[in-house]
Structure 1
Amino acid sequence: MSYPLDRLHQEVAFIALHFHWTLEDILNLEHRDRRRWVQEIQAATSH
């Protein structure tokens, strides 16, 4: 089972918007690391 492409696009856009990382840098992250950054950004911006 592969990771849904729509979800991957959402994660990449979210991280790029907040950290201004390149597409290549974000895609080079392991899945669990990318998900962790999304969670950390969400926690930091939900206040």
Structure 2
Amino acid sequence: MTYAADQLYEEVAYLAYHFHWPLDQLLDLEHAERLRFVAQVARLNGG
């Protein structure tokens, strides 16, 4: 299964914006872990 590049960029940009983590750290996250962080940030932002 391939993971859409646009979706990956969106997740990484979202987390980089909020956490200020370097790109290599964000790309090293497992997909499920990255999505969990995205969901948590969204909840913190009221979304």
TM-score class normalised by the smaller sequence: over 0.9
CA RMSD, 1 decimal: 1.0
Instruction: Compute the TM-score of the two structures, normalised by the length of structure 1.
Output: 0.95
Unaligned runs of 5+ in 1: none
- C-alpha deviation, 1:45, in angstroms: 0.5
Unaligned runs of 5+ in 2: none
Aligned residues: 47
Q: Which letter maps to 2:26? A: I
Q: For residues 15 and 21 of structure 1, what CA distance do their matches in structure 2 show? A: 7
Percentage of matched positions with identical amino acids: 43
After superposing on structure 2, the runs of 4+ consecutive aligned residues of structure 1 that deviate more than 3 Å are none
